[in-house]
Structure 1
């Protein structure tokens, strides 16, 4: 007899508490279930069930075998489901977490193309400026910019962006222009409040040395677009990714604070829960983002 079927018959008898209910669950006769279990016991050379006229219960050996058998059966079921899902078109609800400014400027404009390509997927995009807990908060994936924190999440790089310090020409006319990193101590810095490092800027010097700058400013806010608006208004120097300031710089509303410094490169990543199998809807969306961003050379402007 088939070993997996014997195992399933035995586990179902334990789950259902008897042969009659196990037969109903499996859709076979009671005698067939009994034959499967008897064959299993004979092959193992051990009694797995205590049988009385009123009830059936696993023996001590049977209980230990049940724990392992149930694990094997669950894995087999997941394997079958995996093959089925990989052959089917991506579908279902896709919940995405993304920072507000990136979501508004770069995800919203391309979602229509994705949904037309995958009509069986529905998207719930949540815009917020904090790191969500993907699993506990029910998200399938998130888009994150910059250095990733150590975690058990899986990650795939979508593209790169650059980061520079910028301010308005009017600000520099009023307060002067910094020539080197140390000069930032005398300036008003505009901070992003959700940074894990707090109000600390990590800057690469022309020598390649990594420097840290901590200076109070007139404004701390948890939104990149608001920081850009503040910089345009002359409130101080902001340290932003190029996908936020590129248009403003092209129009002359902001300029590079210290042009002699090397550009900081930031990765843009899709992060999603761990596991050997990535859901087709998640894989489809990540593949779409990689292709779309690379075609548009997203956020490479400086």
Structure 2
């Protein structure tokens, strides 16, 4: 294998976790991959991989090499696309990270259209409510909601959505409907126990602002659990309307206190630090943006707030 091919073989070994997985993706025999990695280690004079009964893992030198090699391969792919022009086909693998519930409701159902549009492209969805390390996990683009804590990330705001106080009609019939934010203190709140959640909810009405500390016996660290708890009537919650979009349309969940507003929530496309977004990642973000802005779950006011400019988050 030539130098670039050897780098690609190493990247595939890291991302698949095995020589055989890399061989399948590159359509070569496993001995060719093993030989390529051995020659690479010999040329560099360092060990890149640790082999154990648990599988393969990169050494510190191997992790550094992986990050630079992946970037070089992406730049080579970009050069190919630029040379071929507008008719170029996206190919290879795109690794996307997103929150579990948001992806289940708003991304995965539409992936068939994206895959049909790019038949030579494979997509790997890493679903996690936590903010994973993009470089360590080999992520090309992540979809994240809320404020971005890391100001060094390169991000593009896709759309902004509303937060609402939500519960089932049956819950409100039994517990009463809150008429003002302080009424929430007498309700059972299902608290989202992740960054961006918590028990202190801040409302605005005109120039007035009011912070309310809610109480509840149930705290949950994943949005899927919040949804289920609300749907079975265990309490009310604060959530983006995206998270309960099907139920809001069907009337099985209702919003209250709508004359008060909560801080909106932003959806960002986030790219690994120091790396230019690849053509594959840009195509995916454009696809997601077009789907969300054409969705009945995005109101006209939200659509006008959509961000289309590359930005460093605050």
Sort the TM-score into its range (normalised by shorter chain): 0.5 to 0.7
Kindly indicate whether the alpha-carbon contact (under 8 Å) linking 2:201 and 2:214 is maintained by their aligned counterparts in 1: no
In structure 1, distance between residues paired with 2:205 and 2:256: 14
- What are the within-5 Å matches in structure 2 for residues 77-226 of structure 1? 81=76, 83-87=79-83, 88-194=88-194, 196-197=195-196, 199-226=198-225
What's 2:250 paired with?
A: 251
Kindly indicate whether the alpha-carbon contact (under 8 Å) linking 2:163 and 2:241 is maintained by their aligned counterparts in 1: yes
TM-score of the two chains, using structure 2 as the length reference? 0.64
What displacement does 1:110 show?
A: 1.2
What's 2:233 paired with?
A: 234
In structure 2, distance between residues paired with 1:89 and 1:179: 55
Kindly indicate whether the alpha-carbon contact (under 8 Å) linking 1:181 and 1:205 is maintained by their aligned counterparts in 2: no
Residues 116 and 198 of structure 1, relative CA distance in 2, 3 Å threshold: closer
Kindly indicate whether the alpha-carbon contact (under 8 Å) linking 2:166 and 2:256 is maintained by their aligned counterparts in 1: yes
Kindly indicate whether the alpha-carbon contact (under 8 Å) linking 2:146 and 2:196 is maintained by their aligned counterparts in 1: no
What displacement does 1:85 show?
A: 4.5
What displacement does 1:212 show?
A: 3.5
Runs of 5+ in structure 2 lacking a partner?
1-71, 303-314
The one-character-per-residue Cα deviations of 1:174-198 (angstroms, maximum 9, x if unpaired) are 332222122222221111122x255
In structure 2, distance between residues paired with 1:259 and 1:133: 37
Residues 86 and 217 of structure 1, relative CA distance in 2, 3 Å threshold: farther
- What are the within-5 Å matches in structure 2 for residues 49-88 of structure 1? 81=76, 83-87=79-83, 88=88
Kindly indicate whether the alpha-carbon contact (under 8 Å) linking 1:140 and 1:273 is maintained by their aligned counterparts in 2: yes
The one-character-per-residue Cα deviations of 1:219-265 (angstroms, maximum 9, x if unpaired) are 22223233223223221111111122233233332222313213643
Residues 83 and 149 of structure 1, relative CA distance in 2, 3 Å threshold: same
What displacement does 1:298 show?
A: 4.4
What displacement does 1:151 show?
A: 2.8
The one-character-per-residue Cα deviations of 1:18-50 (angstroms, maximum 9, x if unpaired) are xxxxxxxxxxxxxxxxxxxxxxxxxxxxxxxxx
What displacement does 1:104 show?
A: 0.9
Residues 197 and 214 of structure 1, relative CA distance in 2, 3 Å threshold: farther
In structure 1, distance between residues paired with 2:286 and 2:152: 21
In structure 2, distance between residues paired with 1:257 and 1:138: 41
Residues 197 and 117 of structure 1, relative CA distance in 2, 3 Å threshold: closer
The one-character-per-residue Cα deviations of 1:129-168 (angstroms, maximum 9, x if unpaired) are 1111111221111111222223311111222322100112
Kindly indicate whether the alpha-carbon contact (under 8 Å) linking 1:156 and 1:269 is maintained by their aligned counterparts in 2: yes
Matched, 1:267 2:263: no
In structure 1, distance between residues paired with 2:287 and 2:196: 32
In structure 2, distance between residues paired with 1:152 and 1:209: 34
Determine helix, strand or coil for the equivalent of 1:218.
strand
The one-character-per-residue Cα deviations of 1:82-125 (angstroms, maximum 9, x if unpaired) are 54443353322111111111111111111111111112221110
Instruction: Tell which structure's C-alpha radius of gyration is larger.
Output: 1
In structure 2, distance between residues paired with 1:276 and 1:138: 12
Count of matched residue pairs: 226
Kindly indicate whether the alpha-carbon contact (under 8 Å) linking 2:99 and 2:130 is maintained by their aligned counterparts in 1: yes
**Structural RMSD (CA):** 2.8
